[in-house]
Amino acid sequence: MIVVLSGGVGAARFIEGLAAVVAPERIAAVVNTGDDMVLHGLYISPDLDIVTCTLADVIDRNQGWGIAGDTDACMQWLARLGAPTWFKLGDRDLALHIYRTARLQAGATLSQVADEIRQALGVAVSIIPMSDDPAPTHVLTDQGELHFEEYFVRERCQPVVHGVRLHAAGPVRPAPALLPLLMSAEVIIIAPSNPVVSVGPILAIPEVRTTLTTTNTPVVAVSPIVGGAAIKGPAVPLMKAVGLTPTALGVAETYADLIDGIVIDTIDAELAPAIQSRGIATLVTDTIMRGMPEKMALARATLELASLIAPSTARSLV
């Protein structure tokens, strides 16, 4: 399997390209659940839904999240009842949250529910939450400790961040399928997702980090930082807040003990020597995924980098 450690929008787009380049049945997305929260009594899992709905081709392409053509009749009535409305939930979207919540209450695990939704929506890529345990990411700000979605959506990234607390609810065990998957992987890809709050929570699971630092399987990352900026989301302020440099070099340094290679954007070509000097194979290419051709090209480049690192794996990849 080709395993992709995934956040939301960037990862979902990357995997779309990957699934057009290799058989989707050979791909497994391990998805961040640090953004998960309970709102209106409903269990909401933003990154699982973004990845699943993108691969099911039902995503709202303009937003990158939510379901295409969705309506907000329920939300309008929740507002009328005085419920909080800062987190928009479309009517179709709500079906995912209602279904997931009911199944969890009936005793299913998050892994099981993610797989049920994936199958129902006809997605061939395996989708695995990083953990079945609660693993909320908190952002430490000048307005106090906020859940990531409170910081990101409700406060629109306005508070000044001075730190991040991963796994804020206590120890987080890997999802049952996760370690076997990592150990049998042909290649492990760290998607172009926020290193702090998207990939960070996955890597903060002790068994995941240990596996990645000791595996012989090639581990390659795709930098989400291009020209010192994030394609989407608050990667820059969050990287700064935890002492990371918000550049492609900073991303490589963040993952230095885990990765064998990294794909960075053409605009950051000048950073390649510094990354390579740290023993990280570096592939420079266009990484902005405007449409399917760019997504597929990025996927191919990433697999090519992995095959350069582990030539014996190469022939089986594409």
Q: How many residues bind a copy of itself (CB under 8 A)?
A: 32
95 is a site residue for a copy of itself (CB under 8 A) = yes
- Would you say 149 or 186 has its CB closer to a copy of itself? 149
40 is a site residue for a copy of itself (CB under 8 A) = yes
Which residues are within 8 A (CB) of 176 and not within 5 positions of it... i.e. 6 or more apart? 109, 111, 132
Q: Per CB under 8 A, which region of 99-107, 215-223, 231-239, 267-275 contacts a copy of itself?
A: 99-107
81 is a site residue for a copy of itself (CB under 8 A) = yes
82 is a site residue for a copy of itself (CB under 8 A) = yes
Choosing from 20, 26, 87, 99, the residue that interacts with a copy of itself (CB under 8 A) is 99
Taking CB under 8 A as the rule, which mask of x and - marks residues 118-157 in contact with a copy of itself? --xx------------------------------------
The residues with which 67 forms a beta bridge, in sequence order, are 59
96 is a site residue for a copy of itself (CB under 8 A) = yes
Choosing from 25, 57, 71, 288, the residue that interacts with a copy of itself (CB under 8 A) is 71
> How, if at all, do strands 37-39 and 42-44 pair?
antiparallel
**Could you list the residues that contact a copy of itself (CB under 8 A)?**
40-42, 67, 70-71, 73-78, 80-83, 90-92, 94-96, 98-99, 101-102, 105-106, 116-117, 120-121
